[in-house]
Structure 1
Amino acid sequence: MRPEPGQVLHFSEDPTLTRFAPHVAATSGTDTPYVWAVDGRNAPSYWFPRQCPRAMAWVRDGTTEADRDRIIGAGCGERVHAIEYAWLPALQNTTLYAYRFAEEAFHHVSSPGAEPHALVATSPVVPLGPPEPVGDLIACHAEAGIQLRLLDNLWSFWDEVIESTVGYSGIRLRNAQSRPGY
């Protein structure tokens, strides 16, 4: 599930939304109210149940061959998404919906020094149409050529990723199991 040209997406488990008003997300690092959306490049980061912790890594300019082979895997594509085994049933059973919006209402936002990861609107927006079921979330990954890696615990993978030359993103990591030994 990716946006058409001139569109951005918002993913939700709620298929009844008709208007999106800016709000301050509980996980936001800012107190500015936004409506959040993503472009086609970042849409795969949201092919998960909302609360599912995930660690994602991808090849980018400057990624070394050694880091690509170590983090992504030799001959394993350009991107890997990792979740914990405990979240597999939710990934298999969650119905996720994509809302489409006109891109013109949004602008890019990112953390200092980070790649742009989302788009935001500061005024209420209305979807271009009804929400679309995303479908089988595992199949979405397979069709996009994205490895989906199941781990007992995300933290050792995450620690390797953030010290490497690959691009990365971690979402809902506060919901991951505790670090081993803590």
Structure 2
Amino acid sequence: MHLHPPKPRLFHISEQPGISIFTPRPSPSHFDNITGNLVFAINDQLLHNYLLPRDCPRVTFYAGANTTDADKQRFMGNTTASHVVAVESGWYQRIKETTLYCYEFLSDDFVLIDECAGYYVSYKPALPIAVTVIDDIMAALLSRNIELRFMPSLICIAEAVRDSSLQFSLIRMRNAKG
């Protein structure tokens, strides 16, 4: 008897309500293993990385299997959260005022392309099976065992995290303030 791992719950976060079909599009980022237009989805474990306004820069990280004790202590030593999401203080008001729509997909047509980031892709159109309105982003984030950090600038922490042994995502950093 073969035991199959449970299928992941997959989501797409948007500021646009009422999307009835997600059509494959060019990837906004380069991935060596992407060969055409696609639909992106994020798994439930890392959904918090996207529970923010689309253009909001963020540094997200967590301790992985190969994270050193020194890096765990340096970046996460004083938190009981499993993940950290750092955003710029200047985004506070926009985060408070933004409504997000969390679309859920069946995972059948999706394949994992980045385990660290929780990214899945499909080359086929995807129909949402459910949508959840998120009108309190901070409450949604803080219900997920993460530490939300507001910082004047993300530049230094982004560099430090990138050079560490942590698992991380640097998202929309082109919008970060110096």
Q: Same fold (TM over 0.5)?
A: yes
Shift of 1:7: 3.3
Question: Match of 2:120, SS?
Answer: strand
Structure 1 residues without counterparts, runs of 5 or longer: none
1:105 corresponds to 2:109: yes
Q: CA separation in 2, counterparts of 1:57 and 1:97? A: 23
**What is the rounded CA distance, in whole Å, between the counterparts of 1:117 and 1:137 in structure 2?**
20
**RMSD of aligned residue pairs (Cα, Å):** 2.0
- TM-score, normalised relative to structure 1: 0.85
Contact 1:68 1:74 in 2 (8 A): no
Name the structure 2 match of 1:63. 67
The number of aligned residues is 171
Q: CA deviation at 1:134?
A: 2.4
Question: Which residue in 2 is equivalent to 1:8?
Answer: 10
1:142-179: per-residue Cα shift (whole Å, max 9, x none)? Answer: 2212111111110101111111121111111111113x
Question: 1:74 deviation in Å?
Answer: 2.2
Q: Could you tell me the percent identity over the aligned residues?
A: 28
Q: 1: CA distance between counterparts of 2:154 and 2:52?
A: 15
- TM-score, normalization by structure 2: 0.87
Letter in 1 for 2:126: V
Where does structure 1 differ by over 6 angstroms across 4 or more consecutive aligned residues? none
Matched, 1:122 2:126: no
Take 2:75 and 2:8, find their aligned partners in 1: how far apart are those partners?
33
